[in-house]
Amino acid sequence: MKITVDEAKCCGAGQCVLIAPEVFDQRDDDGIVVLLQPEPDEAQHAAVREAAAVCPAAAIDLSEHP
């Protein structure tokens, strides 16, 4: 799984960090998403999929290659 985030779309809601704190963080000054692990471990995949799904700005894109 490879994650890309669109900082221009991100609204700083922080939903992704609540769901997958090992993969996402937020910038201190404006709350915009910081990607900690662009290619997370398998154990994180379900949480990352949910984070992408609940992102209110649809700013998280996943490409999944088995």
Partner 1 sequence: MTSPGSILIVGASAAGLSTAEALRRHGYQGRLTFLDAEPHLPYDRPPLSKQLLSGAWEPPRVQLRGQAQLDALHAEFVLGEPAVALDPAERAVTTVSGRVLRGDVVVIATGLTPLRLPGQDHLEGVHVLRALDDALALRHALSAGTRLVVVGEGVLGAEIAATARTLNLEVTLAGMGGTLLNDQLGQVIGAMLAEKHAERGVRLRLGVAIEELTGAAGRVTGVRPASGEFLPADMVVVAIGSRPATGWLEGSGLPLGDGVECDSRCRAAEGVYAVGDVASFQHEGLGRRLRLENRTNATEQAQVVAANILGADRPYTPIPYFWTDQYDVKIQAHGLPSAAAKVTIADGDVAQGRFTALYQEGGQVTAVLGWNMPKQARLLRQQVLGAWQDTPRLATA
Between 7 and 46, how does the x/- string for binding to partner 1 read (CB under 8 A)?
----xxxxx-xxxx-----xxx-xx--------------x
Question: CB neighbours (10 Å) of residue 60?
Answer: 25
Instruction: Give the residue among 32, 36, 13 at the shortest CA–CA distance from 24.
Output: 36
> Does the footprint of partner 1 cover residue 1 (CB under 8 A)?
no
- Cα 42 to Cα 45, 49, 50: the distances in Å are 5, 11, 14
Q: How far is the CB of 38 from partner 1 (least distance, A)?
A: 19
Residues that bind partner 1 (CB under 8 A): 11-15, 17-20, 26-28, 30-31, 46-47, 49-50, 53-58
